[in-house]
Structures are given as structure tokens and as C-alpha cells.
Structure 1
Amino acid sequence: MRTEEALAAAGIDPASVVASEDIGGGTYNTAIRLALADGRRLVLKLAPVAPGLSYEHDLLATEAEYYRRVSGPLPSVVGAGPGFLLMTELPGVPWSQVPDAGPRLRTELGGIVAGLHKTTGDGFGYLQDPLRPTWPVAFTAMADAVLADAVTHGVQLPRPAAEIAHLVRRHEPLLELVTTPVLVHFDLWRGNILLDGGRVSGIIDAERAFWGDPMAEFVSLTLFGDPDRELLDGYRAGGGPAEFGMPAWARLGLYRVYLDLIMLVEMVPRKDDDADRARFLRARLTEDLDALRRTV
């Protein structure tokens, strides 16, 4: 879909756009910053035409639904439809561009995430798919789908796909402890967190959200590391529903493996030929699979 078509579908005259700029930085959708004659600043996201992974369908509908349901420093939906999402622009720059941000912001972020996690639902899984009655059923289906994608795209995995699927199923008793579906963003790395004036000003790019275990959020919040004390203190103070006992830490290992798989497998349909990145992700997946095996 072209910009003009998306704006018209959202009820906005394309002629009212006085400036537009490709934001860049994304790896899936196209994002365009728009300035309107009435002073409004909007962001338009357009879905790619090429197919992606099995779960990557109607992702902009998922993102719009997330913003409509969740309370927090989030964009407001101006218009949405097949292949596009138009929303308000939030102030600030990505945290990934502010290397000197201090621990106080991590505590603030923890409190914000606790607020995001107050949104609960009636089933588990991706918003754009039929929901499952339990988290074990939903999560194993999610893992099976990305493993099937790996086979389809000929991705080199450190262990056979069937072996990884079996390892996930061995942990189903841990997943059974999750009984309340929480809306999880699942892409809260620093590039999707905005800072402005020394504060957290926005959470963006919620297209990969799902109903599931709030503990899964801490994989991207602490990408390739362990949750830090400041983040957890803010989350607890904000009344976040995730519990941090040993079963929860074991489940975190499952979600690390799942995200590793996504990041590795998606490189093929996106035609990302960065060999160093592939080696790094394969090594991370190997390490996380070994750690998960030790928790059984």
C-alpha cells in the first residue's frame, strides 16, 4: 500500500502532508514520519509485501490492538487497516542512541512495564491467531511454528528441530504454572524505548505482542543478559504480576531459546546475509539450549 492510499483510508487528505521522512531502523515494516498542515506529527507504518515467518501476518493489526488495549506511554491509533497503521508520534529518541542513561531510568522502566502488564485476556497466543486455552498449548505451538520455519528455509540450527521441540515439551509442567494471559510486548529492547528530557517518553513497535507469561517480557528487556536489580525493583514497586521464583527463572530460559530461534530464522526470509550475526545467534542459541537442558 502506498502512503497516499493509507492516509485516505484513515480519513486524512494526503495533500495535508507538508513533510515526510523515512524513519529507518526497522527490519520488517516501513515507518514514515509525517508532518501535517494542522501541526500534527504522525507515524505511518506499512507492511512488507514479501512473506516472513509463520507468525508474521497481520502484525500491524496486532500493534494497533496493543495500543488500544494497554495503558502507558504509547502512541494513539489514528487509523488502521489491511497493511497499514497510522499513529501519533511520541517525543524522544531511542534509548539505544543514549549510551549514558543511568540506573534510575531502569527503575522507571520497570514501573512502566508493570503498568503495561495490567492488561489481561481470555486466551493465550498471538493476537492475530486463534487463541489457545492454556499457555503450554499456546507456547509449544509458537515454538513448533518457528522450528517449522527453520526447516522450510533451510536454517542451520545447532540441534535438530525435533530435538529442540522435545526439549520445549519437557518443560510444559513449568508453563502450566501460568494461568492468567497477560499482554506481552516481547520486543522491548532499547531501540523500542524512547527517552526525552531524562525520562522514558515512549514504548513503540508492539507488533510482536502476544497473550502469555509476563516473565517472557524480560528476555528483550535484558537482551542477551540477566534482569538487573533496578529494573526488577521498579517492576515490583509498580505491582507487576510476574513472580521471580525459581520456576519463573526456568521459564525465562525457554523464552530466551524462542527469541534466539526467531532472530536466527528470520534472517533467511529477510535476506540478511550477515555471517557474523548468524554465528553469534547460533552460539547464543547453543548456550541457551544447554542452559535449558540443565533445568529439566
Structure 2
Amino acid sequence: MAAAGLPPDQLAGVRPLGGGTYNTVEELRLTDGGRYVLKTAPTGPGLRYEFRLLAAETEFCRAAAEAGVPAPRALHTDDGPAVWHTLQTRCPGTPWDDSLSGAERAALRRELGAQVARLHEITGPAFGYPSGALGPLAPDWRTAFTAMLDAVLDDARRYAAELPLPADEVAKALAAGYGALDEVTVPRPVHFDLWQGNILVHRTPGGPRIGGLIDGERMFWGDPVADFVSLALLDDIEKDRDFLAGYREGGGRAVFGPAERIRYALYRAYLYLIMLIETVPRQAGEGHVRWVRETVAPQLVAALDDIARLARDA
């Protein structure tokens, strides 16, 4: 708190915040009514890209502020080798849930689309994870993203994770689509974890609004198309007409030609690989492991099939 410019003697209480699946998240309440969020990284094993995740979150907060998008503001982040903690402002609202009406949901998806489009206007210095977890940023997107895929497949081998296909076969299937990556020439901020739990809804007198995009720890500099994966988790973003309308109104480019669909399939495969492999170091419960195998594994196979079909027809 002192390092963030907050008087430590004003701390009135600390309480855990639910919803996080990786870092420990706590709310700090001050005597003047101020509320802040403290995130602390775990000390156990993880995937290679997860090293120094909170450094990436701090970069996302900076990019969101530059874009004028509602998101936490990082007040202080540990600058040690492992980056153990970050202290942030707290955004208004609660995680998006099923209590919204159809009209409210449509309006929020449109608002969300415009915000993500603004975020995607920001440019970065190069491609890859700003945390440095996989090494320095790369000068081109193919180099960065193929390194990201190689790292997660190495994790699969290291943890002996159960995949629907052997890791080497997955790698071969992915490689068929790598040519489409060359079309991405400008690094943009990609949150890559914008499922509903990381979108806060703030209920105002004028109706619900987006209160903040949170948990940007998995952010990387890359292709905006990659954000569509978590925004339509286990589904197809092309079905989300409200989001896409807002995205285009906000200046975003949402064109789904052959190259974009190949890249979309590559990014789907990357996320589904992460979801399958991370269950091992996290020691996930039997119920979650079963859900991942029954629900996510077929989605990975479908993404690989899409890459093969689209690359063959290109």
C-alpha cells in the first residue's frame, strides 16, 4: 500500500474475492471507503506462459487506460524477477451472469464490442507475451505465436496431459495453418480471457453498463482475431451479431475470409490446449477434468479439422 501511495494505517479490512482460478484475489477496504484489489501469484507449478503473469496484467491495464476502456488501473506491481503481486483499483459491478434480460444482454454485447474495438486500436512494440515468460517479444506474429504453441505442447509432454491426439500430431495439424499468420503485421493488445466471468456489469439508474474488463493477466501483443475465441467461448463469434455490430461501429475490423477463419481456428486450438493441459499442474478435481475431456477435447479436434479443411481450400 505504501508503495502505491496509499496510507497503510487506513486499511480497514481484507476479504477474499471469488471467481479467480489462478491468482489469489483479495479486496482491500480503507477507512475512507476506498476499495482496491490485491492479486498475488501462486507459488506452485504452472504452464510456461504463466510465469510473471501479473506483469502482463499490468501491461493490459496500461493499454486499456490508453484506449479509454473501463478496466482496473495498476497502482503498484512487484518489480522482482517473479512478479508476485499487483495492487489495482476496483471497477464497479459484478461478473456478468444470467440475470440479464434479452434486451439488456443485446445492448451490453454491443457496448462490449465497441470497447474491444477501441482496445484493438492500441499498438504494441512487438509480438508475444510482455511478461517475457517465453523470451523477448518477436518482430513478427508467426514467430511469436508458433513459439506460444510450441511452449504449450511442451507443457503437454512435460505433464503427460491427456489430449485427444498425441502432441506431435497436434503440432503437425497446427502447422498447416501457419501461413495465415503472416497477414498480421501490427501487434495489438489481446486480452484472451474475455469470457463472461471477466466482464463486470454495473447496474446504473439508466440500465446496466460494462463496469470493467478484468483479469487481463493472459494478455499478449498479437492478432485481434484471437480475442474472439474467449468472447464466444466454446462457440462461434460469427453468431454474436450484437457484439460484432458494436465492434464494427467502434472501428474494429471483423472480416471472416479464409485467412481470418484459419487464424481463428488456430487461436481456438491454442486456448483449448491450455484448458486441457492446465488441469494437471492445477490438480483439478475429477468433475472438472471430466468436463474438460467431454466438452473441450472435441472442440480442439474440431478446430484442428477446420485448419486442415480451410488450409486445403485456400
Distance 1:190 1:140 in 2: 28
Number of aligned residues: 290
Secondary structure of 2:310's partner? coil
Secondary structure of 2:88's partner? strand
- Pick closer, same or farther for the CA change 1:244–1:287 going to 2, 3 Å: closer
Partner of 2:217: 207
Q: What RMSD over aligned residues (CA atoms) do the two structures have, in Å? A: 1.5
Secondary structure of 1:151's partner? helix
Query: Is residue 171 from structure 1 mapped to residue 177 from structure 2 by the alignment?
Result: yes
Alignment counterpart, residue 234 of structure 2, candidates 224, 228, 232: 224
Compute the displacement of 1:128 (Å).
Answer: 1.3
- More off after superposition, 96-105 vs 222-231: 96-105
Partner of 2:304: 289
Letter in 2 for 1:154: A
Alignment counterpart, residue 290 of structure 2, candidates 273, 276, 279: 276
For the 8 Å contact 2:174–2:304, the answer to whether it is kept is: no
Secondary structure of 2:146's partner? helix
Secondary structure of 1:49's partner? coil
**Cα-to-partner distance string for 1:49-98 (whole Å, 9 max, x where unaligned):** 11210000111111112111322101112211131110111110111354
Distance 2:284 2:243 in 1: 32
Ranges in structure 2 where 5+ consecutive residues have no aligned partner: none
Q: Which runs of 4+ in 1 moved over 4 A?
A: none
Distance 1:30 1:15 in 2: 23
Alignment counterpart, residue 114 of structure 1, candidates 117, 129, 132: 117
- Pick closer, same or farther for the CA change 1:157–1:187 going to 2, 3 Å: same
Compute the displacement of 1:9 (Å).
Answer: 4.2
Alignment counterpart, residue 197 of structure 2, candidates 162, 183, 191: 191
**Cα-to-partner distance string for 1:176-235 (whole Å, 9 max, x where unaligned):** 011111111000000000111211111100000001100000000011111111111110
Q: Identity percentage over the alignment?
A: 48
Partner of 1:4: none
**Cα-to-partner distance string for 1:248-286 (whole Å, 9 max, x where unaligned):** 122101110000000110011001033322322222222
TM-score with structure 2 length normalisation? 0.88
Distance 2:37 2:26 in 1: 6
Secondary structure of 2:26's partner? strand
Partner of 1:124: 127
Ranges in structure 1 where 5+ consecutive residues have no aligned partner: 1-6
For the 8 Å contact 2:177–2:308, the answer to whether it is kept is: no
For the 8 Å contact 1:24–1:30, the answer to whether it is kept is: no
Compute the displacement of 1:167 (Å).
Answer: 1.9
Partner of 2:44: 50
- Pick closer, same or farther for the CA change 1:282–1:79 going to 2, 3 Å: same
- More off after superposition, 255-264 vs 76-85: 76-85
